[in-house]
Structure 1
Amino acid sequence: MTDPTDRDRSVNQPGDGWSTGGAGYFNDQDGLQRVFVVHPYLKGERATDLRRTPEARLEEAMSLAVAIEIELIGGETISLRAIKPSTYLGKGKLQDLKDLAHDQEIDLIVFDCDLSPIQQRNLERDIGIKVIDRTALILEIFGARASTKEGELQVELAHLVYQRSRLVRSWTHLERQRGGSGFMGGPGETQIESDRRIIADRIVRIKRQLESVARTRTLHRKNRQKTPYPIVALVGYTNAGKSTLFNRLTGADVMAEDVLFATLDPTLRGLDLPSGRKIILSDTVGFISELPTMLIAAFRATLEEVLEADVIIHVRDANHPDHEIQKNDVLTVLEELGVELDANNSATPIIDAMNKSDLVSEEALESMEVYAERNSDCMPISGVSGYGCERLVRTIDDVLGQKDHILEKLIPYADGAVQSWIHANTKILSEDHGAEGVTFKFIVDPIIWAKFEKRDR
């Protein structure tokens, strides 16, 4: 058995630990990291209708861990009488984890909670291996999944904001003063001040780059408004099957795997509805409970498609025991983004697509079908088998068509472009040729018509 002191590599790391490390920790390691997950919780905190059990929380945290390339050794829930300010856990449980790390040759322990910088450093020192919290784990996953330049910038920004919070004065290597030579700060600047300044400068540069990307995205959105198609956004808890459904509906080939956060960057595709109406379907990043605030802020730009959506499809994992709790988590994030959810005329219509119906029991499927007969905004589907997908598309069409306008417009003969647009984008009821032009009577989607009228503004 390896001696624990030999395996305590933290002594070779800056700050007597890894707590100041930035993005990409797992990518920098040789071989798969052996990981153990713990979910600490206070005694007396039990599950409610909108709160998961500790066991369910642990299961989700372990699913998060395997979303990156690691070797998962196991996990456990830890009941606490109180949270220790210095180490989160008591001495007895700390010793148990230290023994476990030694016996199982564990490289890293994930705490499914938020750790303060001091708690993280002390845990690493006492257990002798790397420790990260829930936020750091999610950041690692996002870093591994980002596939576009914008996604990479957003992840790096979130990492830097998180890393900045890890700089604490208790780390002696950050307290040493350095000289003021060159461009690296004035005389007597401490290392921690230097580190903070470097991170702050990098955050400013990334924000500038993201502003440039956002301007480009705004131009693209304006172009889509000139091509007047309603936007339908797929949202849902991570791993609910949004990308699989997106591929089923559009024939696209978006990455769809049975892992959390398989999709980070938004994907847009056109889709023709039965009425002939055309829409833009948007696949978005999955949500999760207690999504770190810095990630909501960082990914606000990619989630703007949801804010712009004319209809939201809430893709839910009908086979998951906590799908009602997951629904609440998603609606909470949507509200934080500014989506109007109140049941009034200004609210964005939401259709609940109860996905993975191919995995539920016949009794459960029958129950969902009975509910769907009384509630047209909720229906069982399967992105894998295609079950219920045609009905979902018809429902989208019906929702968009509920407020269709019947208009009558006189279009001059000289305005051939408008006449062509009416032929291509409306259902014409009558067409009368007169002295001044053509009088059209037609049915049109108010969203499309409003965008068309704004085309030259």
Structure 2
Amino acid sequence: MSAAPTRALLVQPQAPGQRDPALPEEFAELARSAGAEVVALVEARLERPSASHYLGSGKVEELKDACEAAGIDLVLVNAALSPVQERNLGDALGRRVVDRVGLILDIFALRAASAEGKLQVELAQLKHQATRLVGRGKSLDSQRGGAIGLRGPGETALETDRRLIRARIDALQKRLSRIEVQQAQMRRARVRNAVPRVALVGYTNAGKSTLFNALTGGAVYAADQLFATLDPTVRRVEGLACGPLLLSDTVGFVRDLPHELVAAFRSTLAEAREADLLLHVVDAADPEREARIAAVETVLAEIGAGGLPQWRVYNKIDRIEGLVPRVELREGDAAQVWLSARDGRGLDLLREALGRRFARALLEGTVLLGHGDGRLRARLHALGAVLAEHHDEAGWTLRIRMERTVAERLAAMPEGQPLHPLLLVAQGAPP
């Protein structure tokens, strides 16, 4: 028999004259994603947060009465509370209080599947928890009942908690650093192989994973819920005019994404930061899509990906009557693509646009190198640009494929002269 869901009361602070109906709706969806049963929502008009309880005394009393009447187990506040505010509010209400940051961390802990993802979530949770230990020494002492074997002579439970958390944070950071080095090496290998890299980014629940599966034939978990998938996944997309490319599916963004998570998921977000092109997936049917586009752009700027080439992919057009798939061009390049990843309409337009875009960026052909061109030959091999090679008494014949900009940089060097005929042929001039 499964346990009854946690009965939650949501608190939505609103600045005077700035009521946004989308905020409580999204917060309720976050609560349900964490497994809570949303019983009630209370909006709180707030000019200036109280330093002690965040909410004013009158609103605290109102919440206490609402909790008693509805049998509330948990109070969720759609704001970042200080440790003192969270503790005092919980004491006043006689219920556990969790703020927006803690709620999103809890959802991430529920959804992380890979070993790395679980480590990253635990690190973020511990850093958040460490700030919540302030002033809890007495309560922890009584809860532990002595905590035999967990602390040294004369050490309080609060000091023990701090020491254990610091030690665990240090251990997690070391393990994640090793994983990050390994992943950086894999990304460098992909760069050397000159395979274009495309990253899907977007607001959570915009349909990124569904689009990822449709393009790659993969089986990444996709559901109509917030943060359905967290761990980065990279797959090849075949059958394009430019040859294969690597597509990565990244964690969905949300407005006011906790900074603890932006820092903890640096390796996930590195897939976006180091991509050749971002596909910003937008729920075309979402009435709040402009606000959510702005939220994604803010996070991209925070992680250093704000200046990367980006296309907007408006997904879920099947939910809008009369809307048809299309590609909108800007300066000869795709700027917006309208499609439905769920029923496949418009996927061919996106694949065609990607093929054209990266076909222009790639250079493929044959290069003849003499015996004195060993340095250039070594550079081409190091870049992973050599597809095939034949050697005879005249030298080497190499079939290469590489990014045009890389070939142009090499050709500008003294040893890069053999690349000039290839560049001239690619530009339409006679060899």
Structure 1 residue 241 corresponds to structure 2 residue 207: yes
Residues 64 and 372 (structure 1 numbering): CA distance in 2 closer, same or farther, change over 3 Å? farther
| Pick aligned residue for 1:38 from 11, 16, 19 | 11
Q: 5 Å matches for 1:16-415?
A: 30-44=3-17, 46=18, 53-169=19-135, 172-173=138-139, 184-185=151-152, 188-341=154-307, 348-362=308-322, 365=323, 369=326, 376-405=334-363, 409-411=367-369
Deviation at 1:340, TM superposition (A): 4.7
Which amino acid in 1 is paired with 2:222? A
C-alpha contact (below 8 Å) 1:266/1:285 kept by paired residues: yes
Quote how far apart the aligned CAs of 1:376 are: 2.5
How far apart are 1:398 and its partner, in Å?
A: 2.1
Secondary structure in 1 aligned to 2:25? helix
CA root-mean-square deviation: 3.5
Question: Are the equivalent residues in 1 in contact too, given 2:340–2:346 (CA < 8 A)?
Answer: yes
1: distance between equivalents of 2:327 and 2:183? 42
Are residues 370 and 391 of structure 1, via their aligned partners in 2, closer, same or farther at CA, if it must alter by over 3 Å? closer
Q: CA deviation at 1:75?
A: 2.1
Cα distance in 2 between the residues matched to 1:127 and 1:447: 63
Which secondary structure does the structure 2 equivalent of 1:66 belong to? helix
Distance in 1 separating the partners of 2:408 and 2:270: 20
Distance 1:393 1:298 in 2: 33
* TM-fit CA distance, 1:452: 12
Structure 2 unaligned blocks of 5 or more: 412-431
CA contact (8 A) 1:225 1:451 kept: no
The 2-side partners of 1:194 and 1:283 are apart by 40
Q: Which moved more, 1:220-229 or 1:404-413?
A: 404-413
Q: Which moved more, 1:199-208 or 1:326-335?
A: 326-335
AA partner of residue 394 (structure 2): E
Deviations 1:172-206 (A, max 9, x none): 33589x99x98844x54433222211111110011
- Check 1:403–1:422 CA distance in 2 against 1; reply closer, same or farther (3 A cut): closer
CA drift of 1:449 comes to 6.2
CA 1:452–1:155: 2 relative to 1, 3 Å:
farther
| CA apart distance, 1:82 | 2.9
Rounded to whole Å, the distance in 2 between the matches of 1:109 and 1:389 is 43
Give the whole-Å Cα distance in 2 for the aligned partners of 1:433 and 1:201.
58
Cα gap change, 1:217 to 1:230, in 2 (>3 Å): same
Equivalent residue for 1:23? none
Report the number of matched residues: 400
Q: What residue in structure 2 maps to residue 344 of structure 1?
A: none
Mapped contact 1:228–1:448 kept (Cα < 8 A): no
Report deviation, 1:246: 0.4
SS in structure 2 at match of 1:76? strand
| Alpha-carbon shift at residue 338 of structure 1 (Å) | 1.2
RCO higher in 1 or 2 (8 Å CA, sep ≥ 6)? 1
- Distance in 1 (alpha carbons) for counterparts of 2:386 and 2:193: 15
Q: Structure 1: any 5+ residue segments left out of the alignment?
A: 1-28, 47-52, 342-347, 426-431
Q: Structure 1 vs Structure 2: percent identity of aligned residues?
A: 38
CA distance in 1, matches of 2:385, 2:168: 50
| Counterparts in 2 of 1:60 and 1:452: CA distance versus 1, 3 Å | farther
Report SS of the residue matched to 1:151. helix
CA distance in 1, matches of 2:409, 2:220: 29
- Aligned letter for 1:402? R
Shift of 1:278: 0.8
* Structure 2 match to 1:9: none
Would the aligned equivalents of 2:280 and 2:311 in 1 still touch at CA under 8 Å?
yes
CA distance in 1 between partners of 2:94 and 2:353 (Å): 56
Q: One-letter code of the match for 2:224?
A: D
Q: Distance in 1 between matches of 2:306 and 2:64?
A: 48
Distance 2:303 2:311 in 1: 18
Task: Supply the distance in 1 between the matched residues of 2:84 and 2:242 (Cα, whole angstroms).
Answer: 60
- Give the CA deviation at 1:273: 4.1
1:445 is displaced (CA, Å) by 3.6
CA distance in 2 between partners of 1:353 and 1:157 (Å)? 33
Query: Structure 1 residues 441, 192: CA separation in 2 closer, same or farther (over 3 Å shift)?
Result: closer
